[in-house]
Amino acid sequence: MTFRLLPNLILLLVLWGLVRGEDKIEAIRFQGNQSFSSKFLRRLIVTKLKQLLNEVDLDSDRTTLKNFYYNEGFLTAGVDTQIEAGKIGKVVNFIIHEGVRVRINLISISGFTVFPEKKILNSLNLKIGDYLKTQLLEDANKRISDLYKNSGYPYVEVEREIEVSDSLALLHFTIEEGPISYIKAVKIRGNNRVGSWTIIRATEIRLGERFSQERLYQAQRRLYATRLFERVAFSLLGIEEKSESLTVQFDVSELPAREVNFGIGYQLPPSRFLFGLGWEHLNFLNRGQNLLLNSEFTPNFKGDYELNLRATYRVPYLIKTPLNFATRPFLNLANLAGNRTFELGLETGINRYLGADWGINLSNRFRVVKFSYSDSIQTDTTARGITNSLIFNVIYDSRNNFFNPNQGVYLAPTLEIAGGLLLGQNDFYRTSLECRAFQSIFERLVLALRISFGAVTPYGRTSVIPYYEKFVIGGRNTLRGYDEKAIGPDSIGKEHYGDFLINTNLEIRTGYLKNFGWVFFWDGGELTSRLADFNLSGYQFSIGCGLRFNTPVGPIRLDYGKRLRNPPVNDWGKIYLGLLHAF
């Protein structure tokens, strides 16, 4: 009996599968859509190919499409659906009745006394002839509100009225300004280890200043920038009574103030192991000061090594001013191919952030370098020098992410003056400019560009710039496909140096898929004794590609670069392994 039922059961399952297959969606089509492509509209709906036909999803899609058209200015748009039988399934037709698209014909404002009408109109980002898009209207309301709230009026209310006639709309904003308010107190809640005074100081909010919503958001960003807090939120006390004196309350959740970092890795080229150890205290002396100790050791099996020791002590708001003080002692020891280097120095300076994107810095750099040559042919096998200089630089940084930016610009012009009244043994001027730009293209690609210039010129007692104050180019971060420090008119062994630098880098970066991404790059650069020696015919360049693996501390990169200008015989290119993008 069981064996007789088995063929019938299989037949029923096959027939059921065929019936269910007829209910699957074979095609999705759009009709009547003139303003938006079918490909674009298909992204908005939940109904998908090869899925079973679902009436609930179709109802939802009709509503979605109708709302989308309404928000784009098609106030009378309608959407119908029609189901047809296809060759192997169902064909879903969305029939769009777009109707007339409404444009703004007049914008008027009433209730304003604080600002002139022209200033309010200019803030709207709306103009006569624009389509009546819901997002633009909501944005206009917010822009008026922000204009007032950033100027001391926290109680402002904005209402919007629309009158439509055929394809034209009359838009009217009514403003209720409310009273002006000031900050009378700042309170902190949720802090255990970080003192309230330290937090209030970091906000840079002054008692008695006029209320500003943007100032509060800036204060929030400053607190996050200290890296002491996991969460920062603010609220206003007394706003329900529309008081002219407000208390700002910051609620914070603290992060651990101390951390130890230890890393082991391998880098190439040059092929060496990498050992790193660091310790950092972000709330030193419980005053929001920062102390960082860092060491890095890179040996190989041939006896070569580099040892770098760094320390940073940072004091924010020096003498209760918005200036940040930092001092950075450093010690570098190296033994590479028998060439031994000893470098000891100290950098001390002050900096000030001028806004969300701008900052300035003035610092002093004192540096002692001793270099011993292994080449016995050299008449002077030991070089020693002392540099004492002042460095001034301005930084503009609008990148939206430090590790993986896809938008923004980084610009850093720098001027350095060494010697003269500062003494030391080296007199020179150094100017440099670095510009990085990032732009998303085609949704999942990022175009990244870097251009660097540098020039160093001797004066006074110095006729020739010592090698350790010159520029270098070539290798993992500047000109891939070339050896480290491989380009330049002056040389010590395999290392080359020069006084005038140009470096250009272009990368196309893909988005990350399961933490993996690709990079395609073009690097170029030249290093000469002076600007007059620069010639495009001698400009070095390379191309290559790389793999990126994204981590919480930045991408790990594996790059392959091949030089294109006069490559040596049997040059198959070079492979680089490291952390973070080249720029």
Residue 1 — very low, low, confident or very high, per pLDDT cuts 50/70/90? Answer: very low
User: What is the per-residue pLDDT across 525-560, written as a single tens digit (0 to 9) for each?
Assistant: 999 998 889 988 889 999 999 999 999 878 999 999
CA–CA distance, 297 with 278 (Å, rounded to integer)? 12
CA–CA distance, 522 with 545 (Å, rounded to integer)? 9
Query: What average pLDDT does this structure show over 187-202?
Result: 94
Beta-bridged to residue 326, according to DSSP, are 314, 349
Which 3 state secondary structure label does DSSP give 226? coil
Q: DSSP per residue over 369-432, as a string? A: EEEE---TT-S--EEEEEEEEEEEEEEEE--S-SSS-SEEEEEEEEEEEESGGG-SS--EEEEE
User: What is the per-residue pLDDT across 367-379, written as a single tens digit (0 to 9) for each?
Assistant: 999 988 765 444 4
Contact in structure between 330 and 311 (CB atoms under 8 Å): yes
Residue 16 — very low, low, confident or very high, per pLDDT cuts 50/70/90? Answer: very low
What is the reported pTM? 0.74
Residues of the chain above pLDDT 90, percent? 79
Q: DSSP per residue over 182-204, as a string? A: EEEEEEEES-SSS-HHHHHHHHT
Query: What average pLDDT does this structure show over 170-182?
Result: 96
Contact in structure between 235 and 247 (CB atoms under 8 Å): no
Q: Please give the order of strands across the beta sheet that includes 157-165.
A: 103-110, 168-176, 157-165
Question: Which amino acid is located at 275 in the chain?
Answer: F
Query: What average pLDDT does this structure show over 332-354?
Result: 92
What SS3 string covers 448-459? Answer: EEEEEEEEEEEC
pLDDT at 306: 95
